Amino acid sequence: MRFLLPSLLALGLLFQTSMTSAHHGWSWTTGGNIDLTGIITSVRLGNPHGLVKVDVEGEVWTLEVGQPWRNERAGLKDGDLAEGVEIRAIGEPSADISERRMKVERLFLDEREYILYPNRD
Protein backbone atom coordinates (compact mmCIF):
# COMPACT_ATOMS: atom_id res chain seq x y z
CA MET A 1 0.00 0.00 0.00
CA ARG A 2 2.84 2.42 0.76
CA PHE A 3 4.10 2.07 -2.83
CA LEU A 4 0.66 2.52 -4.40
CA LEU A 5 0.35 6.29 -3.87
CA PRO A 6 3.85 7.14 -5.16
CA SER A 7 3.30 4.84 -8.14
CA LEU A 8 -0.01 6.49 -8.98
CA LEU A 9 1.53 9.96 -8.63
CA ALA A 10 4.41 8.99 -10.92
CA LEU A 11 2.00 7.53 -13.47
CA GLY A 12 -0.11 10.68 -13.37
CA LEU A 13 2.95 12.88 -13.87
CA LEU A 14 4.09 10.76 -16.79
CA PHE A 15 0.65 10.96 -18.41
CA GLN A 16 0.46 14.73 -17.91
CA THR A 17 3.94 15.23 -19.34
CA SER A 18 3.19 13.14 -22.42
CA MET A 19 -0.09 15.00 -23.01
CA THR A 20 1.62 18.37 -22.64
CA SER A 21 4.40 17.50 -25.05
CA ALA A 22 1.88 16.10 -27.53
CA HIS A 23 -0.03 19.38 -27.57
CA HIS A 24 2.81 21.88 -27.36
CA GLY A 25 5.67 21.98 -29.78
CA TRP A 26 5.32 20.91 -33.37
CA SER A 27 4.67 17.17 -33.18
CA TRP A 28 0.98 17.52 -34.03
CA THR A 29 1.65 19.46 -37.26
CA THR A 30 2.32 18.23 -40.79
CA GLY A 31 5.79 19.73 -41.12
CA GLY A 32 4.76 21.64 -44.24
CA ASN A 33 3.38 25.16 -44.53
CA ILE A 34 0.06 26.45 -45.77
CA ASP A 35 -1.09 30.03 -46.34
CA LEU A 36 -4.52 31.19 -45.09
CA THR A 37 -6.28 34.54 -45.33
CA GLY A 38 -9.45 35.36 -43.45
CA ILE A 39 -11.26 37.59 -40.97
CA ILE A 40 -10.63 37.28 -37.24
CA THR A 41 -13.82 36.28 -35.39
CA SER A 42 -12.42 35.87 -31.86
CA VAL A 43 -9.16 36.25 -29.98
CA ARG A 44 -7.83 34.77 -26.74
CA LEU A 45 -4.25 35.79 -26.08
CA GLY A 46 -2.15 34.58 -23.18
CA ASN A 47 -0.28 31.53 -22.00
CA PRO A 48 0.57 28.93 -23.04
CA HIS A 49 -0.15 30.56 -26.45
CA GLY A 50 -2.79 32.71 -28.09
CA LEU A 51 -5.74 31.33 -30.02
CA VAL A 52 -7.23 33.29 -32.89
CA LYS A 53 -10.39 32.06 -34.63
CA VAL A 54 -10.50 33.06 -38.29
CA ASP A 55 -13.24 32.74 -40.89
CA VAL A 56 -11.55 31.50 -44.06
CA GLU A 57 -14.15 31.40 -46.84
CA GLY A 58 -16.85 30.12 -44.47
CA GLU A 59 -14.65 27.67 -42.56
CA VAL A 60 -13.50 28.55 -39.04
CA TRP A 61 -9.82 27.90 -38.43
CA THR A 62 -8.04 28.06 -35.07
CA LEU A 63 -4.67 29.75 -35.37
CA GLU A 64 -2.19 29.22 -32.57
CA VAL A 65 -0.03 32.31 -32.25
CA GLY A 66 2.87 32.76 -29.87
CA GLN A 67 3.11 33.24 -26.17
CA PRO A 68 2.73 36.88 -25.07
CA TRP A 69 6.51 37.46 -25.05
CA ARG A 70 6.88 35.94 -28.53
CA ASN A 71 4.08 38.09 -29.98
CA GLU A 72 5.61 41.19 -28.41
CA ARG A 73 9.07 40.29 -29.73
CA ALA A 74 7.55 39.94 -33.23
CA GLY A 75 6.18 43.50 -32.91
CA LEU A 76 2.50 42.76 -32.24
CA LYS A 77 0.79 45.23 -29.94
CA ASP A 78 -2.38 44.97 -27.85
CA GLY A 79 -5.35 45.26 -30.18
CA ASP A 80 -3.51 44.29 -33.39
CA LEU A 81 -5.24 40.92 -33.35
CA ALA A 82 -8.90 41.91 -33.02
CA GLU A 83 -12.30 40.81 -34.28
CA GLY A 84 -13.00 42.02 -37.80
CA VAL A 85 -9.34 42.38 -38.80
CA GLU A 86 -8.14 40.60 -41.93
CA ILE A 87 -5.18 38.32 -41.27
CA ARG A 88 -2.93 36.30 -43.53
CA ALA A 89 -1.16 33.48 -41.71
CA ILE A 90 1.55 31.09 -42.84
CA GLY A 91 2.31 28.05 -40.75
CA GLU A 92 2.00 24.36 -40.16
CA PRO A 93 -1.49 22.83 -40.11
CA SER A 94 -2.56 19.97 -37.91
CA ALA A 95 -1.81 16.54 -39.32
CA ASP A 96 -5.57 15.99 -38.89
CA ILE A 97 -6.79 18.57 -41.43
CA SER A 98 -10.37 18.19 -40.16
CA GLU A 99 -9.25 20.09 -37.03
CA ARG A 100 -8.69 23.23 -39.11
CA ARG A 101 -5.88 24.25 -36.76
CA MET A 102 -2.56 25.87 -37.60
CA LYS A 103 0.56 26.79 -35.64
CA VAL A 104 1.39 30.19 -37.09
CA GLU A 105 5.01 30.93 -38.03
CA ARG A 106 4.40 34.27 -39.77
CA LEU A 107 1.39 36.52 -40.06
CA PHE A 108 0.47 39.63 -41.98
CA LEU A 109 -1.84 42.46 -40.93
CA ASP A 110 -2.29 44.74 -43.91
CA GLU A 111 1.17 44.68 -45.50
CA ARG A 112 3.10 44.36 -42.22
CA GLU A 113 4.76 41.00 -41.56
CA TYR A 114 5.17 39.59 -38.04
CA ILE A 115 7.59 36.67 -37.68
CA LEU A 116 6.71 34.56 -34.64
CA TYR A 117 9.16 31.68 -35.28
CA PRO A 118 12.16 33.06 -37.18
CA ASN A 119 14.09 29.79 -37.36
CA ARG A 120 11.36 27.56 -38.81
CA ASP A 121 12.27 28.07 -42.51
The residue extents of the domains of the chain are: 30-115
At residue 17, the pLDDT reads 41
Burial bucket for residue 30 (CB in 10 Å: 0-12, 13-18, 19+):
middle
- Per-residue pLDDT tens over the stretch 51-97: 999 999 999 999 999 899 999 999 999 899 999 999 999 999 999 98
* Phi-psi sector, 115: left (phi>0), alpha (psi -120 to 50), beta: beta
Burial bucket for residue 51 (CB in 10 Å: 0-12, 13-18, 19+):
middle
CATH number of the domain at 30-115, out of 2.170.120.30, 3.30.565.10, 3.40.50.720, 2.40.50.1010? 2.40.50.1010
**pTM attached to this predicted model:** 0.76
Least confident of 7-11, 34-38, 52-56, 103-107: 7-11
